[in-house]
Amino acid sequence: MSRWARVSGGLIILLGLAHLALAVPDGVRAVAPLPREDAAALIMADIVTAVAVLLAGWLMLQGASGLGRAERWARTVVSSAGGFMVLVGVGYILATLGNPFAYVALLVALSSLVPPFLASRRSGGEPSRGPQGPRRA
**How far apart are the C-alpha atoms of 18 and 91, rounded to whole Å?**
17
Asked whether residue 137 is assigned to any structural domain, the reply reads no
Is position 101 within any domain? yes
* DSSP for 87-110, written as a single string: HHHHHHHHHSTT-HHHHHHHHHHH
Question: pTM for the whole thing?
Answer: 0.79
Query: What Å distances lie between residue 105 and 8, 14, 112, CA to CA?
Result: 11, 10, 11
Does residue 134 sit within a domain? no
| pLDDT tens digits in sequence order for the chain, 137 residues long | 788 888 989 999 999 999 899 888 888 898 989 998 888 998 998 899 899 999 999 999 998 888 878 788 888 898 899 999 999 989 989 988 888 888 888 898 898 888 777 766 766 555 545 555 555 55
- Count how many domains the chain has: 1
Distance, in Å, from the CA atom of 96 to the CA atom of 41, rounded to the nearest integer, reads 18
Name the residue range of residue 98's domain.
2-129
The answer to the question of residue 30 being in a domain is yes
Q: Does 52 fall in a domain? A: yes
Q: Say if residue 45 is exposed, middle or buried (CB neighbours under 10 Å; 0-12, 13-18, 19+).
A: exposed
